[in-house]
């Protein structure tokens, strides 16, 4: 069995994990920053008077976003619902459906954090085995070569731990971002639902005023 080949394969797998982790970190970082910024902007713009997406500022609706999708779905359907219970159930279902998109691809980063140290340990073990096999064949003619072989083997563990530490840092940071985004999504959901009552009140007041005018006439 060629231990040197497996040792190099463990390194290639760790390099692939590092590249994949970088991709997920960059992609999720951009997504979370954009989503959080949009959620805060929509939260400030959402008032009781807003009954349709077209009434929101154009800069917030020009590009699609997770918070905008949640608000759009609730505003589009809330006037068709007859009871507060139906509105509550519908808005909760919209929130749950959109909340899942926030967790997208984070399982990859979590898996890399767990697997990278194990791959590093595997690479170290294979490297040490390969070094001992070489010693068994040729003997200890140069202690420097032995130290170099063991050092290369231990480098695999250091690389795996380094990948895991960096991945864990960003994973925990993203978890904090997710909590903030979910809090803003809940606020948007509640404000979109409350707007239904305000809109009903405004329509009732206008209808009563029109009826009064007709009665006077």
DSSP string, 137-189: HH-SS-HHHHHHHHHHHHHHHHHHHHHHHHHHHHHHHHHHHHHHHHHHHHHHH
* CA distance linking residue 160 with residue 58, whole number of Å: 47
The whole-angstrom distance between residue 217's C-alpha and the CA centroid of its chain comes to 61
Contact 103, 132 (CB under 8 A): no
pLDDT band, very low/low/confident/very high, at 138 (cuts 50, 70, 90): low
Distances (CA, A) of 190 to 82, 91, 135, 195: 17, 8, 70, 9
Question: Would you kindly state where each structural domain of the chain is located, as residue ranges?
Answer: 3-216
Look over the chain and give the mean of its residue pLDDT values, rounded to a whole number.
81
pLDDT at residue 77 is higher than 60 = yes
Contact 85, 140 (CB under 8 A): no
Higher pLDDT, 200 or 11: 11
Range from 103-112, 166-175, 204-213 carrying the lowest mean pLDDT: 204-213
Structure tokens at 150: 């063991």
pLDDT at residue 200 is higher than 50 = no
């Amino acid at each position: 069995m060629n231990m040197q080949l497996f040792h190099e394969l463990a390194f290639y797998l760790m390099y692939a994990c590092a590249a994949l982790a970088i991709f997920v970190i960059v992609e999720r970082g951009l997504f979370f920053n954009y989503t959080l910024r949009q959620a805060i902007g929509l939260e400030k713009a959402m008032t009781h008077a807003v009954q349709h997406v077209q009434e929101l500022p154009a800069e917030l609706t020009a590009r699609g976003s997770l918070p905008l999708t949640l608000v759009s779905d609730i505003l589009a359907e809330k006037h068709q619902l007859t009871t507060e219970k139906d509105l509550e159930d519908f808005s909760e279902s919209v929130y749950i459906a959109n909340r899942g998109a926030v967790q997208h691809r984070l399982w990859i980063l979590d898996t890399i954090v767990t697997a990278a140290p194990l791959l590093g340990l595997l690479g170290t073990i294979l490297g040490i085995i390969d070094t001992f096999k070489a010693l068994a064949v040729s003997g200890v003619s140069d202690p420097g070569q032995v130290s170099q072989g063991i050092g290369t083997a231990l480098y695999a563990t250091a690389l795996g731990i380094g990948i895991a530490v960096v991945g864990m840092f960003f994973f925990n940071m993203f978890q904090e971002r997710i909590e903030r985004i979910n809090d803003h999504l809940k606020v948007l959901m509640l404000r979109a639902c409350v707007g239904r009552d305000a809109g009903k009140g405004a329509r009732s007041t206008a209808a009563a005023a029109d009826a009064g005018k007709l009665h006077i006439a």
